[in-house]
Amino acid sequence: MSLFVVGLGTANPEDCVQLRTQPEFRKASRNMMMSYLAIRQALENHDALDESTLGLVLGSSCGELEITRDFLCTLDQSKIARPLLFQNSLHNATTGFLALQLSVTGPSVSVSNRYFTSECSFEAAELLLKSGSARFCLVIAVESRVPMLEPGLKAIHSRKDATHELQFSENAAALLLTCDSTLPHLAEIESVRWSHKVQSTPRTPPHPFHDSDAISHLIGMFQGSAEKGTLLSIKSDGTQSEIIWHRSAR
How far apart are alpha carbons 221 and 218 in whole angstroms?
Answer: 5
Tell me whether residue 79 is in a domain: yes
**Bridge-partner residues for 244, per DSSP?**
191, 230
Query: Can you give the pLDDT at residue 48?
Result: 75
Number of folded domains that form the chain: 1
192 inside domain? no
Euclidean distance between CA atoms 82 and 100, whole angstroms: 23
Q: pLDDT tens digits for 45-87?
A: 887 788 888 999 999 988 888 888 888 888 888 888 887 777 7
Look at residue 14 and tell me whether its pLDDT is greater than 70.
yes
- Burial letters 62-87, b for 16+ CB under 10 A, else e: bbbbbbbbbbbeeeeeeeeeeeebbe
Span 147-156, pLDDT tens digits: 887 777 777 7
The pLDDT value recorded for residue 164 is 62
Domain-embedded: residue 28: yes
C-alpha closest to that of 167 among 213, 200, 202, 198:
213
How far apart are the C-alpha atoms of 177 and 5, rounded to whole Å? 5
56, 99 Cβ separation under 8 angstroms: yes
* Spatial separation of the C-alpha atoms in residues 136 and 222, rounded to whole Å: 19
Instruction: Give Cα 217 distance to the centre of its chain.
Output: 11
Percent of the chain at pLDDT above 70? Answer: 92
Range among 14-18, 89-93, 203-207 rated most confident: 14-18
Compare 88 and 164 and report the one with higher pLDDT: 88
Residue 245: pLDDT band (50, 70, 90) is very high
Determine, yes or no, domain membership for 135. Answer: yes
Q: Residues 189-202: pLDDT tens digits?
A: 999 998 877 765 65
Q: Is 188 inside any structural domain? A: no
The Cα 122–Cα 109 span in angstroms is 11
pLDDT at 159: 61
Residue 221 reports pLDDT greater than 90 = yes
pTM: 0.90
The reply to whether 46 falls in a domain is yes
The whole-number average pLDDT for the span 140-145 is 93
SS3 193: strand
Cα gap 118→140, rounded to integer Å: 8
In a domain, 234, yes or no: no
Residues found in the chain: 250
Average pLDDT, the chain: 87
Distance CA 10, CA 138 (A): 13
Q: What is the DSSP letter of 44?
A: T
Residue 177: its H or E element = strand 171-178
- For residue 150, the surrounding DSSP H or E stretch is helix 150-157
CATH number at residue 156: 3.40.47.10
Average pLDDT of 189-216?
Answer: 79
Domain annotation covers residue 123:
yes
Which residues constitute the domain of residue 96? 8-183
